């Protein structure tokens, strides 16, 4: 079964994809993403790879879920239309984004841009979500450096909420919410971790995640397609700096979820009010202590940060200093 089911309490779609449970257990030493696997070219630098067991497909089955006649208007189902792609960052089986050369990292960004443009050209696609899950704490068992892209046929709730609130803020103030947040963070300074000419990284004022970071475009840009060549290079730069900093924070492979928030596509015009950013969400609150999203967070959506964003920002600036010093010594 692969279908979307409507949750009328949340007014949101849920992907119900039971066939993914059939994913085979691969032999431990086989990696489909390594050259020589037969699944990828013998040589590549970065690569788009169609997910072998996609949750969303361009040719989805029609849902045939049994329901009573009374379910009409209460429950709804829709085909699981869309696309799931894997983005291979490198042919090397192990490695990190910050370990890539700057040129190689720019190729990753260029591939994201290309896929974003291509997937959003399908009018049935309402959101293109680019992300990377990193670390076993967020369910990753495949060490080969990769991210993913989901092209959804609906606007996911978190993005919808952000877009709606940013639009309201714009209508009330005549300015972009995200541009205003950037301005305030630059003025205050204490939560800023790193910036280059085109992007800034800071712990949000209201962060629920101990080490969560917002990477925001300095100029008002909607999505990847708006970036200049220099902005693409600097987007790669800030992602490398932040992920390198994370691994220097506790001298461990720090897990994270890189969630890229481009503006919604093929829907309401949000050009003035929505603003490109990346949310780096982190499941740890110390080297070996996980910050669970438990009852309050998951059951009531009432977030609780067990630490001070200002103190953690200072700690991350120190880790950034160690990361940069280590690079210079190489």
| Residues classed as catalytic | 146
Least distance to Zn ion, CB of residue 265, Å: 15
Query: What Cα–Cα distance (Å) separates residue 119 from each residue in 106, 109, 169, 288?
Result: 20, 15, 29, 38
The H helix count followed by the E strand count for the chain is: 6, 12
Question: Which residue, 115 or 144, is less far from Zn ion as judged by CB?
Answer: 144
Residues that bind Zn ion (CB under 5 A): 31, 33-34, 93, 144, 162, 176, 178-179, 220, 261, 275, 279
Per DSSP bridges, beta strands 2-7 and 12-17 are antiparallel
Least distance to Zn ion, CB of residue 111, Å: 17
Question: Which residue, 191 or 319, is less far from Zn ion as judged by CB?
Answer: 191
Least distance to Zn ion, CB of residue 179, Å: 3
How many Cβ atoms are within 10 Å of 225's Cβ, its own excluded?
15
Question: Which residue, 162 or 195, is less far from Zn ion as judged by CB?
Answer: 162
Question: Which residue, 77 or 192, is less far from Zn ion as judged by CB?
Answer: 192
Q: For residue 324, with 0-12 CB atoms within 10 Å meaning exposed, 13-18 middle and 19 or more buried, which class applies?
A: middle
Query: What Cα–Cα distance (Å) separates residue 116 from each residue in 83, 148, 171, 191, 265?
Result: 12, 12, 28, 30, 10
Least distance to Zn ion, CB of residue 259, Å: 7
Q: Residue 82: name the closest of 122, 53, 116, 49 by CA.
A: 122
Question: Which residues, including other chains, have CB under 8 Å from residue 104's CB and lie 6 or more apart?
Answer: 45, 46, 90
β-strand partners of 48:
87
Cα dihedral sign, 295-301-302-307: positive
- Here the tokens at position 287 are 């080297």
Least distance to Zn ion, CB of residue 41, Å: 13
Question: Which residue, 53 or 124, is less far from Zn ion as judged by CB?
Answer: 53
Rounded Cα–Cα distance for residues 44 and 183 (Å): 40
Least distance to Zn ion, CB of residue 279, Å: 5
Question: Which residue, 60 or 143, is less far from Zn ion as judged by CB?
Answer: 143
3-state secondary structure of 118: helix
């Amino acid at each position: 079964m692969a279908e979307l089911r409507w949750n009328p309490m949340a007014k949101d779609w849920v992907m119900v994809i039971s066939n993914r449970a059939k994913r085979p257990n691969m032999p431990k030493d086989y990696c489909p993403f390594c050259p020589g696997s037969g699944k990828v070219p013998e040589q590549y630098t970065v690569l788009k790879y169609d997910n072998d067991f996609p949750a969303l497909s361009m040719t989805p089955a029609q849902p045939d879920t049994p329901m009573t006649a009374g379910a009409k208007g209460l429950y709804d189902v829709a085909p699981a239309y869309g696309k799931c792609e894997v983005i291979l960052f490198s042919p090397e089986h192990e490695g990190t984004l910050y370990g890539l050369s700057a040129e190689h990292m720019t190729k990753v960004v260029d591939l994201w841009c290309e896929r974003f443009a291509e997937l959003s050209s399908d009018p049935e696609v309402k959101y293109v979500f680019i992300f990377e899950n990193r670390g076993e704490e967020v369910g990753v068992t495949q060490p080969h450096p990769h991210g993913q892209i989901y092209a959804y046929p609906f606007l996911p709730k978190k993005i919808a909420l952000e877009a709606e609130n940013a639009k309201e803020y714009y209508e009330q103030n005549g300015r972009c919410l995200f541009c205003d947040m950037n301005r305030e963070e630059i003025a205050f300074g204490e939560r800023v971790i790193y910036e280059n000419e085109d992007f800034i990284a800071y712990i949000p004022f209201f962060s629920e995640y101990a080490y969560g970071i917002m990477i925001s475009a300095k100029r008002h840009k909607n999505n990847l397609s708006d970036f200049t060549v220099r902005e693409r290079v600097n987007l790669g730069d800030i992602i490398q700096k932040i992920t390198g900093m994370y691994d220097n924070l506790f001298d461990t492979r720090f897990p994270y979820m890189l969630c890229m928030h481009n503006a919604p596509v093929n829907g309401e015009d949000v050009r003035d009010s929505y603003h490109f950013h990346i949310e780096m969400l982190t499941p740890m609150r110390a080297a070996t202590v996980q910050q669970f999203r438990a009852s309050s967070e998951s059951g009531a959506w009432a977030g609780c940060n067990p630490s001070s964003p200002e103190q953690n920002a200072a700690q991350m600036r120190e880790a950034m200093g160690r990361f940069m010093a280590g690079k210079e010594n190489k």
